[in-house]
């Protein structure tokens, strides 16, 4: 009988978790994305206990500060994640990532990886707020916690683990620029916590994965979708500038996500400019700049763009990019 050794694959993409500083006491002045994921795992003897007999494997997919993450790196990450999830011997993936755009990559993967694979094989993103060379780094604990979650009964979908908290890809947001516990799931709350090598789940995600029909990766740049925020004194100038014929190498704008005030309200000047944009074929999605809650329709009437309801502005932008990719 063939015995298969079960594996968790660690995919490295960079970030502060892989950062290095000259001064060990400096938690802010460092270079992100310097240490390879294999080296991070080698310096972590506690990982074996977290994995409980499952063998770690590692692969460097990118090495960037996550503010510089782009479509081509997402395409590569998607391809490698899919490849490993399809392997019979792989039980789960852990992805190391910078905190700044972690919620975007997590949401993207949750939208494009096949739901049937994610139903039994979790993809766990983790990160750090201090570089690997810090006197008191948080990365090692986060990596071990991510391994525990990857190996936990009931783990499914795309998850984020930071500072002992387990979040869903849909709800998680970076809410603090410095604190070790930099993420929040807002009103939805966390999925659970990692406590002394055990996961205490408080809820499970219902929807995991799903590939948009017709979705194909473009050979060139992905559809250009921009974000505009309504605020006091904002008129239509920004929207009109976005819709003007661009100078090379920029592509014409295909979509605009508006972070509206309150319940998605938009001032008159911007509203008029958005109407012109729509008339030119630009897809406009309205969200709210409020940190919590979602748009509410008058007296139960459906709010336009219901599929974007409850998504943060940056996640609505990803959903719109994927919608436009599916339409090509």
Q: How big is the site for ligand ASP, counted in residues (CB under 6 A)?
A: 11
Cα 194–chain centre separation: 20
> With binding defined as CB under 6 A, does residue 27 bind ligand ASP?
no
Residue closest to ligand ASP, measured at CB: 98
Q: In the range 65-94, which residues lie near ligand ASP by CB under 6 A? A: 65-67
- Interacting residues with ligand ASP between 281 and 300 (CB under 6 A): none
Span interacting with ligand ASP, options 62-70, 141-149, 151-159, 231-239, rule CB under 6 A: 62-70
Site string for ligand ASP, 178-217 (x = CB under 6 A): ----------------------------------------
- With vertex at residue 185, the alpha carbon angle to CA 17 and CA 96, rounded to the nearest 5 degrees, is 20
The residues with which 287 forms a beta bridge, in sequence order, are 259
Question: Nearest approach, Cβ of 62 to ligand ASP (angstroms)?
Answer: 11
Asked if 157 interacts with ligand ASP (CB under 6 A), we say no
Rounded CA-CA distance 170/107 in Å is 6
Which tokens in the block code for residue 183? 């993420």
127/149 with CB nearer ligand ASP: 127
Query: What is the residue whose two structure tokens read 């992905």?
Result: 222
Strand intervals (E) in 50-191: 55-64, 90-96, 123-126, 158-162, 165-168, 173-174, 183-184
The single-letter DSSP state of residue 281 is T
> Which H or E element spans position 324?
helix 313-327
Residue closer to ligand ASP by CB (options 12, 190) is: 12
CB of 221 to ligand ASP, least distance (A): 22
Three-state secondary structure call for residue 306: helix
Stretch that binds ligand ASP, among 52-60, 97-105, 230-238, 308-316 (CB under 6 A): 97-105
Q: With binding defined as CB under 6 A, does residue 15 bind ligand ASP?
A: yes
Q: What is residue 101's DSSP assignment?
A: T
Please report whether residue 139 would count as binding ligand ASP according to CB under 6 A: no
58 binds ligand ASP (CB under 6 A): no
Specify the residue for token string 């395409």: 75
Binding mask 32-51 for ligand ASP (x = CB under 6 A): x-------------------
* Residue appearing with tokens 């460092």: 30
Nearer to ligand ASP, 59 or 65 (CB): 65
| Residue 98 in contact with ligand ASP, rule: CB under 6 A | yes
**Binding flag, residue 100, ligand ASP (CB under 6 A):** yes
Among 127, 165, 228, 259, binds ligand ASP (CB under 6 A): 127
> For the chain, where are the E strands, in sequence order?
7-14, 55-64, 90-96, 123-126, 158-162, 165-168, 173-174, 183-184, 192-195, 198-201, 224-229, 253-260, 283-288
The answer to whether 16 is a known catalytic residue is: yes
CA distance 69 to 105: 9
Token representation of residue 106 = 């997590």
Q: Catalytic residue among 16, 96, 105, 288, which?
A: 16
Q: Of 303, 258, 325, which Cα lies nearest the Cα of 285?
A: 258
Residue 51 or 161 with smaller CB distance to ligand ASP: 161
Instruction: Tell me if 78 sits within 8 A of 67, measured CB to CB.
Output: no
Positions that interact with ligand ASP (CB under 6 A)? 15-16, 32, 65-67, 98-100, 127, 129
Residues belonging to the active site = 16
């Amino acid at each position: 009988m063939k015995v298969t050794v079960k594996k968790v694959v660690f995919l490295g993409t960079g970030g502060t978790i892989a950062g290095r500083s000259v001064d060990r006491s400096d938690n802010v002045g460092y270079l992100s994305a310097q240490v390879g994921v294999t080296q991070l795992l080698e310096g972590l003897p506690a990982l074996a206990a977290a994995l409980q007999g499952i063998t770690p494997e590692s692969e460097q997919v990118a090495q960037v500060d996550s503010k510089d993450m782009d479509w081509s790196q997402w395409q590569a990450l998607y391809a490698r994640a899919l490849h490993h999830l399809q392997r019979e011997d792989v039980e789960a993936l852990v992805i190391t990532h910078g905190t700044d755009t972690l919620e975007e990559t997590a949401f993207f993967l949750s939208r494009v990886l096949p739901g049937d694979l994610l139903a039994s094989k979790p993809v766990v993103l983790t990160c750090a707020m201090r570089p690997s060379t810090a006197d008191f780094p948080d990365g090692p604990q986060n990596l071990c916690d991510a391994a525990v979650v990857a190996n936990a009964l009931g783990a499914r979908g795309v998850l984020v683990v930071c500072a002992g908290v387990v979040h869903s890809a849909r709800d998680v947001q970076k809410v603090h620029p410095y604190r070790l516990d930099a993420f929040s799931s807002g009103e939805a709350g966390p999925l659970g916590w990692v406590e002394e090598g055990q996961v205490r789940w408080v809820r499970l995600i219902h929807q995991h994965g799903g590939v948009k029909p017709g979705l194909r990766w473009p050979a060139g740049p992905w559809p250009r979708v921009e974000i505009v925020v309504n605020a006091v004194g904002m008129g239509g100038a920004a929207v009109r500038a976005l819709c003007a014929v661009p100078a090379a190498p920029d592509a014409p704008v295909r979509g605009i996500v508006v972070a509206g005030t309150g319940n998605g309200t938009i001032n008159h000047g911007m509203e008029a400019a958005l109407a012109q944009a729509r008339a030119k074929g630009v897809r406009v999605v309205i969200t709210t700049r409020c940190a919590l809650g979602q748009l509410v329709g008058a007296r139960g009437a459906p709010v336009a763009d219901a599929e974007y309801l409850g998504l943060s502005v940056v996640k609505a932008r990803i959903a719109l990019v994927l919608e436009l990719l599916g339409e090509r």
